[in-house]
Amino acid sequence: MKHRLRLLYTFVVFLATGLLQAADKPNLIFIMADDLGYGDLGCFGQKIIQTPRIDEMAAEGMKLTQFYAGSTVCAPSRCVLMTGQDTGHCWVRGNGAKEAQTLRARDITVAEKMREAGYATALIGKWGLGEEGTSGHPNRQGFDYFFGYLNQRHAHNYYPEFLFRGEEKVKLKNSPDPRWLASKQMTTDGAGFASPDGRIEYSHDLFVAESLRWIEKNASGNAPFFLYLPLTIPHANNEGTRGTGNGEDVPDYGIYADKPWPDPDKGQAAMITRMDRDVGRILDKLKALGIDDNTLVIFTSDNGPHKEGGNHPEFFDANGPLRGMKRDLTEGGIRVPTMARWPGKIEPGSSSDHVASFADFMATACQLAGVETPKKTQSHSFLNTLLGKRSEPDDIHYWEFYERGGKQAVRFGNWKAIRKPMFTGEIEIYDLKKDIGEAHNLADANPAVVAQAAKLMAEYHVENPNWKVRGKKTKK
């Protein structure tokens, strides 16, 4: 009997200690915009589109001025973020067929590591790494809760007929009939933002409302939480233009309605400002719940800006000082506006030029949660950078992209190398410290740097049966 009581006491002490340690761990929220350019925010130089709440977040935290997405398009960028492996190593390396765009059971995600550390985990928004009944479904990749789009093409439609909650398809009030959408009635809130009147459901608004509810539900629990919030704004509705040339789906143009601009540009600006409002609502919720000081919030974008909805990114200077955009491996396609906020831990108004990427999020989250980073990643924590300390340098960042004949890029120190077509093309070399716009190819004057880049490109590419490029001989 005494032995049983001793075992019970030991178990209770162990459980209580575990709960106490879990409660002491900070919450983590990762908010990701879709196709937001480096120059699309006021705090990164935007002069036309209004983003006061995100600018405020940057003023209250740290801007990361040399932070890179995992890829230059959606699915591979998200795969890099979730697995800590760059596109030379990860499983999903492009927007492709179902099998090629599905995480495997053996892939280890950030969500799995956070859950291992005692975190409640949720994904609300756009997934794109596995659909119904597959090993890549979010609930099979470490997320306790999921609400949103599984299929990235489905996510192009901001007025879908259904979304998923877990593995259940949730029918919405929307209809595919264009006459129905044209007749939508709007209500306007006190800040001047219009919303559907209840007969129509705008997916972005649903995601924000669901996130606020989930945060409130988990704020008072014994476990810390990890919320991954991949928004769809400002991605274009490529399938929903209905011949109008306007794929910028937003309930109304808000403060831009009377601007003498083409409608797609009004829509692009309105989407970003709407997202800005909602990032502010999330930060306000953390303050109201009294968990603001115990929550690290990171905001970023999945790749560079687009011009797929009829909008004109050059009008807004969407990529700022960078060259290129979505689907390019120049800086404009992969360097993304990023900031982190953690009151009391991150110095307000600070900025860092520490070079990091989506691959580094895995190690950062693991360090935050107190668990070991999985092996076989290219992930290096930048948590010390956020806390004003010196992070271990992550000197090599690699990308490969399989569309348009394929291309590769690698950054090492201040050098950036790009090769297209992949594996066989000539290598261009840029000194990013002096030439952020990549205007001057220095390859001819730096043959040793070209040779080093070629060596790194070969070392960082691991064969993947789903992703092949013509002209590349497979190793036997």
In this structure, what token pair is assigned to residue 203? 């997916």
**Closest Cα to residue 24, out of 224, 219, 293?**
224
404-459, which class in CATH? alpha beta
Find the helix packing angle between 52-59 and 263-289, rounded to 10°.
50
Contact 211, 27 (CB under 8 A): no
Is the Cβ–Cβ distance between 125 and 104 less than 8 Å? no
Tens of pLDDT along the chain (476 residues)? 444 544 443 343 334 334 434 558 999 999 999 999 999 999 999 999 999 999 999 999 999 999 999 999 999 999 999 999 999 999 999 998 888 999 999 999 999 999 999 999 999 999 999 999 999 999 999 999 999 999 999 999 999 999 999 999 999 998 876 555 555 555 555 445 556 556 789 999 999 999 999 999 999 888 999 999 999 999 999 765 444 457 888 999 999 999 999 999 999 999 999 999 999 999 999 999 999 999 999 999 999 999 998 999 999 999 999 999 999 999 999 999 999 999 999 999 999 999 999 999 999 999 999 999 999 999 999 999 999 998 777 789 999 999 988 999 999 999 999 999 999 999 999 999 999 999 999 999 999 999 999 999 999 999 999 998 765 544 43
- Rounded Cα–Cα distance for residues 248 and 227 (Å): 27
Domain residue ranges of the chain, discontinuous segments joined by +: 27-395, 404-459
Q: How far apart (Å, rounded) are the C-alpha atoms in residues 166 and 84?
A: 24
CATH topology of domain 27-395: Alkaline Phosphatase, subunit A (3.40.720)
Q: Which residues pair with 225 in a beta bridge?
A: 120
In tens, the pLDDT along 61-91 reads 999 999 999 999 999 999 999 999 999 999 9
Distances in Å between the alpha carbon of 415 and those of 86, 429, 430? 18, 7, 6
Number of H helices and number of E strands within the chain?
A: 12, 18
Residue 161 CA to residue 168 CA, distance in Å, equals 14
Could you tell me whether strands 62-64 and 194-196 are parallel, antiparallel, or unpaired per DSSP bridges?
A: unpaired
Question: Is the Cβ–Cβ distance between 65 and 339 less than 8 Å?
Answer: no
Residue 33 pairs in a beta bridge with 301
d(CA 413, CA 337): 20
| pTM of this structure | 0.92
Positive or negative: CA dihedral 114, 118, 123, 129: positive
pLDDT on residue 464: 95
Q: Enumerate long-range contacts of 384-388, CB under 8 Å, 24 or more apart.
A: 385/64, 385/352, 385/354, 385/356, 386/62, 386/296, 386/340, 386/342, 386/345, 386/346, 386/352, 387/345, 387/346, 388/346, 388/347, 388/350
Mean pLDDT across the chain: 90
In this predicted model, what pLDDT tens digit does every residue of 92-139 receive, in sequence order?
999 988 889 999 999 999 999 999 999 999 999 999 999 999 999 999
**What tens digit of pLDDT does each residue of 46-66 get?**
999 999 999 999 999 999 999
Q: Which residue has the tokens 């259940």?
A: 168
Q: Strands 338-341 and 350-352: what pairing?
A: unpaired
pLDDT of residue 20: 37
What pLDDT shows up at residue 238?
A: 73
